């Protein structure tokens, strides 16, 4: 929903603060600030809930606390009702005010009651202390850095690199206090890896299908509670198709957007589903030759990603959200997270159940810096809020209770999801195998041409103040036989690709990209005067 920035401490500099906030301009529509001695707080706000009155930074009625908040708490109606019964008087209909009211009522325990995708900072004006908190999966980002006499907090790394100081991340599911002297003490309020422990395994297919259907449907319903037009990033695969089926029922004015080569399978499936549902459908046509170094540079600048494969996916994602912005769409749903939860990756099925669970937990824990970071930066970099219904905490917890046998059956990944929605999914979608968005059309191979530049561009933007670009962990894992411990050790021992590996990769990508040209040069030419079919 927003980009937030704060500078707190006796050396807080208004000029530095203004530059931080300016860098975050694409995340919102209006700039709102509060500036006083020792505390500079600001928000670049994307107006979605109570658009006229949810002005930030939001100050408590007694002026003790100031809130800067990014994201949305989807259960804010229920929390508002509970807080009203407890005597709180609300001034707005915003979830922003609900977050601050929850903090005033329950203190640090409030995070356990917030259901959504959020990150926020609450400044205590009298002491200069700042409370920081981030949602359990890290859908929304939050970073901090220290300079002498000042603590700086921001939604993106790029807002902090001008300080030329190390940048740290507030980890997912963590919260805590930062003091004016720069001391930051954060602790986990939720152990994601222990989610679902102590609850019985759901191994009956009928029961599992009912639970999966209820959890996913409810998660989507909560994320489209808005009077704005809702978009869906539609790949033509199972997950985004499910999102569109639900959104169309709840928001008949919804739109779908797809990116791809005009004759790619993704575009064909997406066109067919949108037409069958009567949903307006925008196709961002992108051919491999359209991807240039400038596009890669822009994707790296926006995304701040640290793995090569994620950067390549960002190159393909950015045009989607650019088009949504041009269409005036502010809220969009994606299908991200379903593959991680419901067995969409081969690695889960190539090892035993115990090792598969460890791989599953590793993927979930790292989503914050891979898929979720790509989605947040690519969308908010164009003033669009992307929501991820498959990563609602209730869906994640349920997925942790499902045995692998229900996620992969009869050679089909995400079997239980297909079973849960068999009566509403068109047969051509339900039976379609997984097909990553950029791999099926040559876009991935085109972007690979520029991989040797990724690390250099990343450093040039100053993002190595947080961490450098590293080898793709999935590739390392494959080379290590899906042995997680070996892969982690290998990744630490040699974080980046060698020059030889880069050269081999470049040769492979060049060969693939040259193939169409060679076919055109050596292929049969049409007879003069004959029509070209």
Work out the burial of residue 354: count CB atoms within 10 Å of its CB; fewer than 13 is exposed, 13-18 middle, 19 or more buried: exposed
Work out the burial of residue 528: count CB atoms within 10 Å of its CB; fewer than 13 is exposed, 13-18 middle, 19 or more buried: exposed
| Distance, CA of 454 to CA of 306 (rounded, Å) | 9
3-state helix, strand, coil in the chain (%, to 5): 45, 20, 35
Reduced to 3 states (helix: H, G, I; strand: E, B; else coil), residue 404 is: helix
Reduced to 3 states (helix: H, G, I; strand: E, B; else coil), residue 44 is: strand
DSSP state of 86: T
| Distance, CA of 160 to CA of 463 (rounded, Å) | 9
Beta partners for residue 178, in sequence order: 130, 184
Contact (CB, 8 A) for 56 and 40: no
Contact (CB, 8 A) for 85 and 96: no
Is 266 flagged in the annotation as binding? no
* Beta-carbon count within 10 A of 512 CB: 16
Nearest to 380 by CA among 17, 29, 15: 29
| Distance, CA of 174 to CA of 137 (rounded, Å) | 10
Contact (CB, 8 A) for 200 and 180: no
Is 259 flagged in the annotation as binding? yes
Q: Are strands 65-73 and 58-59 parallel, antiparallel or unpaired?
A: antiparallel
Q: Are strands 281-285 and 331-333 parallel, antiparallel or unpaired?
A: unpaired
CA atoms 154, 156, 161, 165: torsion sign: positive
User: How far apart, in Å, are the Cα atoms of 81 and each of 4, 33, 59, 223, 517?
Assistant: 27, 29, 20, 19, 64
Structure-token pair, residue 89: 């008087």
Structure-token pair, residue 44: 């670049």
**Could you check whether the bond before residue 474 is cis, i.e. omega within 30 degrees of 0?**
no
DSSP state of 369: G
Q: Which residues are catalytic?
A: 2
Structure-token pair, residue 8: 């707190």
C-alpha dihedral over 517, 518, 519, 520, to 10 degrees? 50
Nearest to 332 by CA among 220, 230, 250: 230
| Distance, CA of 45 to CA of 153 (rounded, Å) | 16
| Annotation: binding site for ATP | 259
Q: Give the annotated binding-site residues.
A: 95, 259
Which residues participate in the annotated binding site for L-glutamine?
95
């Amino acid at each position: 929903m927003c980009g937030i920035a704060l500078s707190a401490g006796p050396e807080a500099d208004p000029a530095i603060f203004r530059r931080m906030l300016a860098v975050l301009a694409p995340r919102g529509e209006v700039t709102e600030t509060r500036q006083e001695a020792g505390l500079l707080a600001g928000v670049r706000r994307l107006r979605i809930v109570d658009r006229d009155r949810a002005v930030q930074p939001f100050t408590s009625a007694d002026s003790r606390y100031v809130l800067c908040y990014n994201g949305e708490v989807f259960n804010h109606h229920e929390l508002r009702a509970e807080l009203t019964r407890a005597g709180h008087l609300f001034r707005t209909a915003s979830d922003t005010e609900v977050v601050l009211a929850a903090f005033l009522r329950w203190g640090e325990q409030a995070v356990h009651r917030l259901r959504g995708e959020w990150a926020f900072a609450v400044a205590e004006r009298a002491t200069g202390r700042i409370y920081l908190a981030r949602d359990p999966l890290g859908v929304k980002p939050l970073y901090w850095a220290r300079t002498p006499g000042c603590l700086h907090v921001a939604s993106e790394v790029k807002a902090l690199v001008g300080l030329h100081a190390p940048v740290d991340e507030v980890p997912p599911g963590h919260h805590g206090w930062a003091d004016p002297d720069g001391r930051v003490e954060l602790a986990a309020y939720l152990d994601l890896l222990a989610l679902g422990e102590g609850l019985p395994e759901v191994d009956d297919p009928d029961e599992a299908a009912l639970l999966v259907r209820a959890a996913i449907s409810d998660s989507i319903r909560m994320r489209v509670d808005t009077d704005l037009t809702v978009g869906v990033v539609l790949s033509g695969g199972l997950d985004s198709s499910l999102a569109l089926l639900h959104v169309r029922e709840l928001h008949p004015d919804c739109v779908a957007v797809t990116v791809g080569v005009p004759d790619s399978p993704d575009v064909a499936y997406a066109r067919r589903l949108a037409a069958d549902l009567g949903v307006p459908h925008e196709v961002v046509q992108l051919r491999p030759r359209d991807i240039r170094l400038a596009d890669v540079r822009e994707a790296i600048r926006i995304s701040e990603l640290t793995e090569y494969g994620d950067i390549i996916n960002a190159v393909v994602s950015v045009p989607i959200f650019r088009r949504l912005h041009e269409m005036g769409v502010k809220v969009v749903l994606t299908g991200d997270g379903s593959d991680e939860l419901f067995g969409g990756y081969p690695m889960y099925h190539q090892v035993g159940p115990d090792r598969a669970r460890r791989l599953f937990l590793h993927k979930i824990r790292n989503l914050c810096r891979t898929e979720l970071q790509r989605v947040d930066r690519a969308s908010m970099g164009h003033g669009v809020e992307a929501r991820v219904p498959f990563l609602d905490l209730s869906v994640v917890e349920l997925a942790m209770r499902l045995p692998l046998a229900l996620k992969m059956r009869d050679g089909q990944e995400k079997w239980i999801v297909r079973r849960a929605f068999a009566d509403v999914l068109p047969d051509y979608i339900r039976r379609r195998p997984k097909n990553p968005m950029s791999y099926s059309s040559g876009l991935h191979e085109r972007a690979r041409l520029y991989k040797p530049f990724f690390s250099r561009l990343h450093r040039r933007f100053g993002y190595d103040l947080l961490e450098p670009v590293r080898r793709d962990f999935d590739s390392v894992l494959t080379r290590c036989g899906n042995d997680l411990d070996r892969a982690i050790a290998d990744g630490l021992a040699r974080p980046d690709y060698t020059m030889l590996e880069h050269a081999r990769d470049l040769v492979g990508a060049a060969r693939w990209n040259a193939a169409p040209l060679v076919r055109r040069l050596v292929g049969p030419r049409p007879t003069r005067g004959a029509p070209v079919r």
